[in-house]
Protein backbone atom coordinates (compact mmCIF):
# COMPACT_ATOMS: atom_id res chain seq x y z
CA UNK A 1 0.00 0.00 0.00
CA UNK A 2 3.02 2.28 -0.22
CA UNK A 3 1.80 4.18 -3.29
CA UNK A 4 -1.66 4.60 -1.80
CA UNK A 5 -0.07 5.81 1.44
CA UNK A 6 2.11 8.33 -0.38
CA UNK A 7 -0.86 9.57 -2.40
CA UNK A 8 -2.97 10.04 0.76
CA UNK A 9 -0.17 11.96 2.48
CA UNK A 10 0.30 14.20 -0.58
CA UNK A 11 -3.44 14.96 -0.62
CA UNK A 12 -3.20 15.92 3.05
CA UNK A 13 -0.24 18.17 2.35
CA UNK A 14 -2.16 19.95 -0.41
CA UNK A 15 -5.25 20.36 1.78
CA UNK A 16 -3.28 21.77 4.70
CA UNK A 17 -0.90 23.82 2.58
CA UNK A 18 1.92 22.36 4.65
CA UNK A 19 5.49 21.74 3.65
CA UNK A 20 7.32 18.53 4.53
CA UNK A 21 8.89 20.41 7.43
CA UNK A 22 5.46 21.40 8.76
CA UNK A 23 4.32 17.77 8.62
CA UNK A 24 7.52 16.55 10.25
CA UNK A 25 7.13 19.02 13.14
CA UNK A 26 3.45 18.13 13.61
CA UNK A 27 4.21 14.40 13.54
CA UNK A 28 6.95 14.87 16.15
CA UNK A 29 4.51 16.87 18.25
CA UNK A 30 2.19 13.87 18.54
CA UNK A 31 4.98 11.44 19.36
CA UNK A 32 6.26 10.40 15.95
CA UNK A 33 9.95 9.70 15.62
CA UNK A 34 10.35 9.93 11.85
CA UNK A 35 13.30 11.85 10.47
CA UNK A 36 12.68 14.78 8.18
CA UNK A 37 14.11 12.75 5.30
CA UNK A 38 11.81 9.81 6.06
CA UNK A 39 8.74 12.07 5.96
CA UNK A 40 9.90 13.50 2.65
CA UNK A 41 10.67 10.06 1.21
CA UNK A 42 7.33 8.61 2.36
CA UNK A 43 5.37 11.52 0.88
CA UNK A 44 7.28 11.19 -2.39
CA UNK A 45 6.67 7.45 -2.53
CA UNK A 46 10.38 6.65 -2.42
CA UNK A 47 10.18 4.92 0.97
CA UNK A 48 7.28 2.69 1.93
CA UNK A 49 5.60 3.71 5.16
CA UNK A 50 4.75 1.18 7.80
CA UNK A 51 1.16 1.22 8.99
CA UNK A 52 2.25 3.04 12.16
CA UNK A 53 4.27 5.65 10.26
CA UNK A 54 1.41 6.29 7.86
CA UNK A 55 -1.11 6.63 10.68
CA UNK A 56 1.12 9.11 12.55
CA UNK A 57 1.41 11.30 9.47
CA UNK A 58 -2.32 10.96 8.71
CA UNK A 59 -3.17 11.89 12.31
CA UNK A 60 -0.98 14.99 12.19
CA UNK A 61 -2.65 16.10 8.96
CA UNK A 62 -6.17 15.23 10.10
CA UNK A 63 -5.83 17.07 13.41
CA UNK A 64 -4.85 20.23 11.56
CA UNK A 65 -7.68 19.82 9.04
CA UNK A 66 -10.23 19.23 11.80
CA UNK A 67 -8.96 22.30 13.68
CA UNK A 68 -9.69 24.30 10.53
CA UNK A 69 -13.20 22.89 10.28
CA UNK A 70 -12.49 20.77 7.24
CA UNK A 71 -14.20 17.44 7.05
CA UNK A 72 -12.00 15.66 4.51
CA UNK A 73 -9.74 13.44 6.58
CA UNK A 74 -6.66 11.72 5.24
CA UNK A 75 -7.30 7.98 5.16
CA UNK A 76 -5.70 5.82 7.80
CA UNK A 77 -3.78 2.67 6.88
CA UNK A 78 -6.74 0.32 7.26
CA UNK A 79 -8.80 2.59 4.95
CA UNK A 80 -6.32 2.56 2.06
CA UNK A 81 -7.02 0.42 -0.98
CA UNK A 82 -4.26 -2.04 -1.89
CA UNK A 83 -1.68 -0.97 -4.48
CA UNK A 84 -2.47 -2.08 -8.00
CA UNK A 85 0.01 -4.15 -9.96
- Enter the pTM of the model: 0.93
Domains held by the chain: number: 1
43 within domain boundaries: yes
Which letter, b or e, does each residue of 25-60 get, where b requires 16 or more Cβ atoms within 10 Å of its Cβ? ebbbeeebebeeebbbbbbebebebeeebbbbbbbb
Question: The domain containing residue 66 runs over which residues?
Answer: 2-76
Q: What is the pLDDT of residues 18-66, one digit of tens each?
A: 999 999 999 999 999 999 999 999 999 999 999 999 999 999 999 999 9
Give pLDDT, residue 84.
Answer: 65
35 within domain boundaries: yes
83 within domain boundaries: no
82 within domain boundaries: no
What is the CA 37 to chain-centroid distance, rounded? 14
Amino acid sequence: MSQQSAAAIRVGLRLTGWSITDLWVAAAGIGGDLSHRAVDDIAAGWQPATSVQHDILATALNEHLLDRGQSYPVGYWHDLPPDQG
